[in-house]
């Protein structure tokens, strides 16, 4: 993929109206120069989400997410940075120059072709399920399972005819796709008997699998009636890797953000049943154990998850593996333990939403403790040792000292042993404790200097006006800023001064993703309202105040040195002369102000 030139990104952002963009997703009300609403990224009752059209930025004072138009689209639609830029480029009519190698260009064309085939196939299957007499059994099956028409449409469910194995191939061939392309898609095979193409999913209810952008990339099929295998899934292709996708994500993504929690299940019907009963944050892994790639994909939307796998032995094993992966990715994880032999689909249909709500999810460590106590005899010395040994890896993985300490004390209480015994075993095991991240440093408010206010106010003006920036540089230099983050922003602006548009929101795209502290500092700075008139005079007053503070600080240092010098010391004359000059400069500043 070719890199997108910074100047093109700046042009795109300059043409996007962030107020219009955000308003597609959030109901906003005017509040002075800003607009406020309920944050789309976390659940809240009181609006803390702010859009500042003048600066083309958004910021939530609740969850601290913020940025410009590109950042907003990335968060809302789960797109990568290049994907978000390209989406906005299409909307604004900005052309992005592409310089792909011949190999990359061929790969791009192949993926585009496969996306088209899957999109046309999904439409064909959906139409068949909706209207064809051959899909009557499939429609009855869905009705029996309580899957309504709205859910069928939302998830794009379809049906592959059983009585005509060539129906899909003929349909797609008429639309210009050749046999080789249809076989490469994984949807069609070639008969060894007659050489004709056939639909691999014939006679099955189909569950389209979409990527995070909502494009169909594969299918899962369930046999309707008798036959084996019960479920059949698409093979991996250039657009589909089952370990990198989650079923239902394209429907659930906005609910994941709103509820700030994912409900992770095992199968297609589990997810459909969950959504049917209002559990709209449900997603599922795809015919395989939960993977690190799926965890990273999910983390675009939330860092909190509840595992609701089957209550049988296989489900318990899958839960343990998913817990390990999610906790390693920094998720806060809980487990909902269903009665043995019931999957979420069965349970919801038997007990309904009210029955589901009666189960309280357990914390990850508490769940693992219960499982260990079931497997080992906690009444014997050997059994107690086995319980502790089984839990040591999970304890060491904990990044919270509070969680770790609380759990160790709970574990010690359950086993009737001193907590220090568990700590001793942990140390002996050779497992390194995860080092907890230190709490974020409290924000430091720059000191008020004279009547001019804080350095942050001056910096905001300097980032918005080239003349003020150059005046600050000339009068104070770029090293004078009290906070490191203020200095970082000043030097970043200096490095971009030839191409900088003096729209501070464009600086956000130039700050490394790893430097969240600097991004957050800039966002908070930009959400402060500033006067529209007499900005240059206000800046000069700020500068005068800082110059006066600098002079007064130096005069204090000189006085201290004079107090320690003998009267006949030659340095005294130099210091006295400096003191006189400092006093004159300070008097001149005060006379002007």
What tens digit of pLDDT does each residue of 140-191 get?
A: 999 999 999 999 999 999 999 998 999 999 999 999 999 999 999 999 999 8
β-partners of residue 207 are 220
Contact 295, 323 (CB under 8 A): no
Q: Give the distance from CA 244 to its chain's centroid.
A: 15
Strand 304-307 and strand 197-199: the pairing is unpaired
CB atoms within 10 A of CB 223: 17
Position 567 scores a pLDDT of 54
* pLDDT (0 to 100) of residue 579: 76
Give me the pLDDT at residue 432, please: 46
**Cβ(590)–Cβ(552) under 8 Å?**
no
Alpha helices in 50-134 (DSSP H): 69-77, 81-92, 102-131
What is the per-residue pLDDT across 237-281, written as a single tens digit (0 to 9) for each?
A: 999 988 889 999 999 988 887 888 999 999 899 999 999 999 999
| pLDDT for position 99 | 67
- Extract the residue ranges of the chain whose pLDDT is less than 70: 1-3, 98-101, 287-288, 429-453, 504-505, 512-514, 529-533, 566-570, 592-593
Q: Using H for helix, E for strand and C for coil, what is the string for 545-581? A: HHHHHHHHHHHHHHHHHHHCCCCCCCHHHHHHHHHHH
| Rounded CA separation 547/532 (Å) | 24
pLDDT of residue 455: 79
298 contacts: CB under 8 Å, gap ≥ 6 = 246, 249, 256, 262, 264, 283, 305, 331
Q: Are 96 and 89 in contact (CB under 8 A)?
A: yes
Distance CA 170, CA 197 (A): 9
Beta bridge partners of 247: 284
């Amino acid at each position: 993929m070719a890199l997108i030139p910074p100047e093109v990104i700046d042009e795109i952002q300059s043409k996007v109206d962030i107020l219009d963009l955000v308003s597609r997703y959030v109901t906003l009300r005017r509040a002075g120069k800003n607009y406020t609403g309920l944050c789309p990224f976390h659940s809240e009752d009181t609006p803390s989400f702010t859009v500042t059209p003048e600066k083309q930025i958004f910021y939530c004072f609740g969850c601290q997410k913020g940025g410009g138009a590109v950042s907003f689209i990335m968060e809302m639609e789960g797109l990568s940075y290049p994907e978000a830029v390209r989406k906005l480029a299409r909307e604004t009519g900005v052309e992005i120059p592409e310089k792909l190698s011949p190999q990359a260009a061929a790969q791009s064309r192949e993926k585009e072709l496969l996306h088209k085939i899957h999109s046309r196939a999904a439409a064909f299957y959906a139409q068949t399920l909706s209207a064809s007499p051959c899909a009557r059994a499939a429609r009855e099956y869905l009705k029996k399972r309580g899957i309504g028409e709205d859910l069928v449409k939302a998830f794009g469910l379809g049906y592959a005819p059983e009585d005509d194995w060539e129906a899909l191939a003929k349909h797609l061939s008429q639309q210009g796709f050749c046999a080789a392309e249809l076989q490469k898609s994984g949807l069609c095979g070639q008969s060894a008997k007659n050489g004709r193409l056939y639909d691999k999913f014939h006679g099955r209810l189909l569950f389209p699998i979409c990527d995070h952008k909502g494009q169909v990339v594969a299918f899962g099929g369930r046999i309707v009636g008798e036959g084996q295998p019960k479920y059949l899934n698409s093979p991996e292709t250039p657009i589909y890797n089952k370990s990198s996708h989650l079923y239902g994500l394209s429907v659930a993504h906005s609910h994941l953000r709103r509820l700030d929690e994912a409900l992770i299940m095992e199968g297609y019907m589990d997810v459909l049943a969950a959504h049917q009963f209002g559990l709209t944050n449900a997603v599922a892994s795809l015919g395989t154990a939960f993977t690190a790639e799926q965890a990273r994909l999910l983390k675009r939307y939330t860092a909190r998850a509840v595992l609701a796998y089957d209550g049988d032995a296989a489900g318990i094993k899958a839960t343990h593996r998913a817990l390990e992966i999610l906790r390693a990715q920094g998720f806060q994880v809980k487990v909902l333990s269903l009665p043995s032999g019931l999957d979420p689909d069965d349970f919801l249909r038997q007990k309904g939403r009210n029955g589901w709500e009666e189960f309280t999810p357990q914390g990850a460590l508490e769940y693992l403790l219960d499982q260990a106590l079931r497997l080992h005899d906690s009444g014997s010395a050997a059994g107690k040792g086995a319980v502790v040994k089984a839990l040591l890896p999970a304890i060491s993985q904990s990044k919270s000292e509070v969680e770790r300490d609380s759990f160790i004390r709970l574990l010690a209480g359950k086993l009737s042993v001193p907590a220090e015994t568990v700590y001793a075993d942990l140390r002996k095991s050779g497992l390194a404790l995860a080092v907890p991240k230190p709490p974020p440093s409290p924000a430091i408010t720059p000191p008020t200097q004279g009547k001019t206010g804080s350095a942050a106010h001056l910096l905001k003006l300097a980032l918005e006006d080239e003349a003020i920036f150059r005046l600050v540089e000339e009068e104070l230099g770029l090293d004078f800023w009290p906070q490191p983050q203020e200095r970082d922003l000043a030097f970043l602006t200096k490095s971009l001064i030839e191409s900088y548009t003096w729209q501070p929101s464009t600086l956000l795209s130039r700050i490394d993703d790893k430097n969240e502290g600097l991004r957050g500092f800039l966002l908070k700075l930009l959400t402060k309202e500033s006067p529209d008139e007499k900005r240059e005079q206000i800046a000069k007053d700020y500068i005068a105040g800082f110059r006066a503070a600098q002079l007064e600080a130096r005069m204090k240092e000189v006085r201290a040195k004079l107090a320690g010098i003998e009267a006949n010391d030659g340095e005294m004359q130099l210091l006295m002369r400096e003191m006189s000059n400092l006093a004159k400069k300070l008097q001149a500043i005060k006379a002007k102000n």
